Chains A and B, each alone.
Chain A
Amino acid sequence: MIVTLADGTQLECEDDSFAEGGEGILYFDKVGKYVMKLYKTVEPQREAALQKIIGTEYSVVLNGLTGTSEPYWDELFAWPKAIIVKPQLGLTMLRAPQGTMELKWFLGSKQREVIAKKHGADKLGKWSNYLTLALKMARVVRRMHFRGLCHSDLSFRNFLADPSTERLILIDCDGLVVPGFLPPNVLGTPMCMAPELASQMIHPNPNVHPSTRTDLHALSTLVYWLLLRRHPLLGPKVHSPEPSLDEALSLGEKALFIEHPTDTSNHPPNLLSYTEVLTPAVQRLVQRAFVDGLHDPSKRPSAADWERFLLRMQDALVTCENPKCFLGSFVLNPANFVNPGQKSKIVCHCGTPLTKFQTLPIFHFYQPKRGQTGHFQNDQGYIMVGQPERNLYIWHADPAQAPGPGIDHQPKATLKFDYRHNKWYFQNLGLPDVQLLDPARLPRNVKLQDQVELTDGVRLLLGPPDHCRLAYVEMVRV
């Protein structure tokens, strides 16, 4: 079949569709680069809405100022690229990368077993890969919300992922809500619906629509699910003896977090709690999402909050020494410093202690006080745990920077461990004006390629003190 784009270009696509949704029929192009969606029925405003989504004002895959294409975002969004005018209205989107599958395959133990049998256990990836997927998911939602767009159906069906390669891409972006244009045509996927939407499965309310705030509930749900492999609201509490009504209530007006700190009526037995697994900052986001903000949308954490603190959580991961550990790595939290009297004080959730190192360096980050050069303040408890080959990037040094298009993603410094002498080193790979401040000595410049030993109590100034962070290094006995 030949389709014609709005600019007259013709593309050849397969004659047989590979999927059919409520709104349209999907085809692959012959080259394997694009997916074509042809609408079954055309709503009057559809073409105008598509033009908005493709244009510079709203397209998340274009630079908002220059209108040029940004490959960084093309990797995260199967965004509509062009409008098809013949044989009927439709659009082209980039095809999701090979190996990505519906996220749902990775969320439940039965599906995971099937994946392991079919593709090998490596396909499931490690826990740290899921942290990266959660971070990318937050980045995707933040990008849309900053453009004023609401997706309205963020779910395990619309995120395709491959944990083993940490690829994640959002599909089904043509139905999203453009302000002032087409209203949302779905409430969403039940398991990811915000309570105020899920309630409508019982009592329709024409005044409550999907919005960026309901998107944020879906995001929080998916992040929690990715990191803890269970749904945050579906616990043992029964609200109705009729199963589907029970679920509508559990997700809707009676929704109750399965780890609510005071109301334990929905607590499943034997949980590995989020308070043991996540960093304190991410724990606070979970509380805001499922305790404070569950029934109060204004209190929900933003996508930018999730992105910032999930990114920092990567720095708190410690590799587990058990090659068969179900996690592969864990967050170094006070909870892991238990077992007094045992050989190692730091133990993974699988029960394996750390033995390779006698000490671990912990970087306590402080951010510069604006306008008061030389003064630093606590950076919301941000810490980085030293691991061999752990890298620091520009956003570690400069709190105004964050990963994104146009940002240097090359390592700017790295940590090294000398196994023979049991010593930790910091090596500067590209940060200007790094200084080692040792209370017992004069400040020392750490030039490019220089490496300095990390000892308890030293401070590293990661660049010019007017805008760069200071790290206070604590050596923790393992």
Chain B
Amino acid sequence: MNLDKNINMDFGGGDVRRLPIYLLLDTSGSMAGAPIEAVNQGVTLLYNELMNDPSAIETCYIAVITFSSDAKITVPMTELTKFTPPRLQAGGTTALGDALRLLNSSLDKDIRANSPTQKGDYKPLVFLMTDGQPTDSWERPADEIKLRTKQKVASIIALGCGGGVDVNTLKRITEIVLLMDTVTPDQITQYFKWVSQSVSKASVAVQAAPGAGEARADLPPPPSGIQVVL
């Protein structure tokens, strides 16, 4: 018998629900340079912070979807302990619509449904980050996503970075919109720190707090420099 098996061989039971986290990250050309570097460091910071939280380790799964001229699944839904922060590069346009379509199909594919006989996943948390206007058609997938949040199938938190973002676009996707006025590496770091606090809080609170994940009530206050758009 190998050692790992003996560490893990256990008493049975103890299955825990998953808390799926999606990061939808804008990697368009306008993010090139310091911003994308800050996002890379931000994702690493998020991973490191969550790995220091035993509740997050127990429940969190992370997927990364990036979008520039088109969208792709950079990291498919992965258990936190097996997650490796990706190296993202910036270039191209802003296919937000494509990203939302991909998010929709991923949610359909990844999420274990809850039913009267099966314990499925907790409500997924989606963190969308973009710095520009969509360059593809995005309205329909946005409406489909909004419908999900209305039915509380997922909580989506959208962050607009800088003056190039149209808040109304984000508002069409989700109720929870944050705005970072001045995009600096430090602000991006602060944002990811906040994401990790939100996830940590959720990974404790989802367990047995009805209505937890009514995300707005449950999110910690955002860092200074990032405002909530009402």
Contacts and interface: CB of A to CB of B under 8 A. Distances in A.
A229 B16 CA distance: 12
Interface residues of B, number: 39
B57 A201 contact: no
A111 B54 contact: yes
Nearest to B2: A324
Interface string B20-54: 00000000000000000000000000000001001
A107 B16 CA distance: 12
Interface string B189-230: 000000000000000001111111100000000000000000
A190 interface: yes
Contacts of A242: 114, 210
A107 B14 CA distance: 10
Interface in A228-287: 228-231, 234-236, 238, 241-248, 250-251, 258, 268-272, 277
Contacts of B206: 243-244
B208 A244 contact: yes
Given A190-B209, A241-B116, A244-B122, A114 B57 contact: yes
A191 interface: yes
B9 A201 contact: no
Contacts, number: 123
A241 B115 contact: yes
A79 to B, nearest CB: 25
B17 interface: yes
A201 B121 contact: no
A326 interface: yes
A330 B111 CA distance: 40
B119 A236 contact: yes
A244 B211 contact: yes
B223 to A, nearest CB: 14
A328 to B, nearest CB: 10
Given A109-B14, A235-B13, A258-B13, A248 B210 contact: yes
Nearest to A118: B51
Interface of A: 102, 104-105, 107-114, 116, 121, 124, 190-191, 193, 198, 201-202, 228-231, 234-236, 238, 241-248, 250-251, 258, 268-272, 277, 324-326, 350
Given A114-B57, A238-B118, 14 more contacts: A121-B3, A190-B207, A191-B207, A193-B208, A238-B116, A241-B115, A243-B114, A243-B123, A244-B122, A246-B114, A248-B208, A250-B208, A272-B11, A350-B6
23 contacts: A102-B54, A108-B16, A109-B8, A113-B81, A191-B208, A202-B210, A230-B12, A230-B13, A230-B14, A234-B14, A236-B15, A241-B114, A243-B120, A243-B121, A243-B122, A244-B210, A246-B114, A247-B207, A268-B13, A268-B14, A272-B10, A350-B6, A350-B9
